[in-house]
A and B are shown apart, each in its own frame.
Chain A
Amino acid sequence: MDRADVDTKIRSLIEPFNKKGIEVKEETTFQNDLEFDSLTVMDFVAEIEDEFDIIISMNQQAEIENYGQLVDTVTKLQAD
């Protein structure tokens, strides 16, 4: 799956979590823009992990602040 496909997939996964309907750009941050709390992060990460059959450890999550970084990470992990 290339980056564009990963991006499309994650966009559909993020929808139910994006309660305020904020426009998601590459630089949109999960904490400040989307206001994800730790529980939302856990559920959202679990969805992505199940969809792509990958693990995004807490250590890797700590490096991901915005949407673009998430798509990059998932693209890389699912290719491995």
Chain B
Amino acid sequence: MSEGIIQPDQPEVLEGEGRDLFSKFDDIIALREGLLASGQEDPFNLVMEKVLSPTRAICNGRDTILLGTYNYMGMTFDPDVVEAGKQALADFGSGTTGSRVLNGTYQGHKEVEQALMDFYDMDHAMVFSTGYQANLGIISTIAGKGDYIVLDIDSHASIWDGCAMGQAEVVPFKHNDIEAMEKRLKRIPEGAGKLVVLEGVYSMLGDVAPLKEMVAVAKKYGAMVLVDEAHSMGFIGANGRGVVEDAGVIDDVDFIIGTFSKSVGTVGGFCVSNHPKFEIMRLVCRPYVFTASLPPSVVATAETSIRKLMHGSNKRAHLWENSKALHKGLKDLGFKLGTEEPQSAIIAVIMPGLEKGAAMWEALIKGGLYVNLARPPATPANMTLLRCSLCAEHSEEEVGQILSIFEQAGKAVGII
């Protein structure tokens, strides 16, 4: 020590003090604190204390209608599904503790893959531990350095991450723009591997891709086509196989990616394909190999649910009725919606900004309705959205209730 008295020998403020690896998150921390300081209920910290049915839960202490869960077909409480899970838990235990390629493939994993092959009428099915890993794994494994991936700019994070992980050349095009897609395909150097990645339903606005035209263009340029049908399975297409089926191009796409965490009602992801060499993916796809497989109860519930979805035409019809009724009702109330016509089970309500959007979300949750608040950068064109996803188990009466909660909240917040 020296004579500094009130000053320590070392300078008090070190250069760089207060900065560490977390400093890069300061802006987002400030944004969140600002929002919550106004007394706003946190839209990203909701707790469901009790789940009463696919469409109702006790959220933050309130009886709430669920309109933001992706539980499109309402399979989560299906008695057969629940029973299959219980039986598998009793017979096979709580988890596999291993990779699919080592000790993690049980009878149930093979059975759920067979159910997928039957559902899609395809030759191969590969089940991943999550939908995120399915995109991450398939895309990064088939498109590597020197290959080109042409994809829609509004693609899901799991697609972008798969592109980055594989180190392919990534070429995005404007959302649903067939001409922009074709221009990019045309410019790819001759001889390079080409993969086009599309989604059936885009989850932010609930709009559908023009797959008939897009798949034809991709094939014209010799590209392989991967379509993510996460938000359409069980609901769109005569057999619920997705937008590819509805558009009549299912035989022209090389890979369909899907998830168990939406219509199927549990967790997990998959890829189905008719490619003759597809099975090699099990050995070379890192997000498949280097993780534990799904628990037996999960694959058992998934299998039962998928087989029931094959015969779900009445539920599909009711879900369409719900989607049309909600879309029309919200439009008539004066809300601005993501699509002119209902195209899927997702109806996006466009908010004037984040602040009003958050206020609206809070008014809805206090009125007993849960929707998803979506905000930049997860949204297209930096929009703030209240995303409503309908369920086949919502009754006509509930849709009416939903509309009246929206009306009250919209008027209180001053949006309509």
- Residues of A whose CB lies within 8 Å of any CB of B are 37-39, 42-43, 46, 49-50, 53-55, 57-60
- Besides A42-B172, A46-B173, A57-B169, 11 new A-B residue pairs in contact (Cβ under 8 A), listed by A number: A38-B377, A39-B381, A39-B382, A42-B153, A46-B180, A49-B187, A55-B171, A55-B184, A57-B170, A59-B167, A59-B170
Contact with A along B333-365 (1 / 0, CB 8 A): 000000000000000000000000000000000
User: What distance in Å separates the Cβ of B330 from its nearest Cβ neighbour in chain A?
Assistant: 26
User: What distance in Å separates the Cβ of A13 from its nearest Cβ neighbour in chain B?
Assistant: 16
- A59-B172 contact given A39-B381, A42-B153, CB 8 Å threshold: no
Return chain A residues, CB-CB under 8 Å to B171. Answer: 55, 57-58
Q: What's the count of A-B pairs with C-beta under 8 Å?
A: 36
The CB with the most chain A CB atoms within 10 A, among B167, B170, B381, is that of B170
Return chain A residues, CB-CB under 8 Å to B167. Answer: 59
- A55-B174 contact given A46-B180, A50-B183, CB 8 Å threshold: no
Residue B122 lies at the interface, judged by CB distance under 8 Å to chain A = no
User: What distance in Å separates the Cβ of A51 from its nearest Cβ neighbour in chain B?
Assistant: 12
Q: Is the interface of B mostly helix, strand, loop or mixed?
A: mixed
Return chain A residues, CB-CB under 8 Å to B382. Answer: 37, 39
Residue B188 lies at the interface, judged by CB distance under 8 Å to chain A = yes
Return chain A residues, CB-CB under 8 Å to B170. Answer: 57-59
**CB distance B187 to A54 under 8 Å?**
yes
Q: How many residues of B are in contact with the other chain, CB < 8 A? A: 18
Tell me the complex Cα distance, A41–B153, Å: 12
Tell me the complex Cα distance, A26–B151, Å: 31
Return chain B residues, CB-CB under 8 Å to A53. Answer: 187
Contact with A along B176-196 (1 / 0, CB 8 A): 000010011001100000000
Interface residues in B296-328 by Cβ distance below 8 A to A read none
Which 8 pairs from chain A and chain B are nearest by CB? A58-B170, A57-B169, A55-B187, A57-B171, A57-B170, A55-B171, A59-B169, A42-B153
Q: Which residue of B lies closest to A80 (CB)?
A: B189
Can you sample 25 A-B contacts with CB below 8 Å?
A38-B377, A42-B153, A43-B174, A46-B180, A49-B183, A49-B184, A49-B187, A50-B183, A53-B187, A54-B187, A55-B148, A55-B169, A55-B171, A55-B184, A55-B187, A55-B188, A57-B148, A57-B170, A57-B171, A58-B163, A58-B169, A58-B170, A59-B169, A59-B170, A60-B169
Tell me the complex Cα distance, A39–B377, Å: 10
User: What distance in Å separates the Cβ of B390 from its nearest Cβ neighbour in chain A?
Assistant: 29
Tell me the complex Cα distance, A10–B167, Å: 28
User: What distance in Å separates the Cβ of A40 from its nearest Cβ neighbour in chain B?
Assistant: 11
Tell me the complex Cα distance, A38–B173, Å: 13
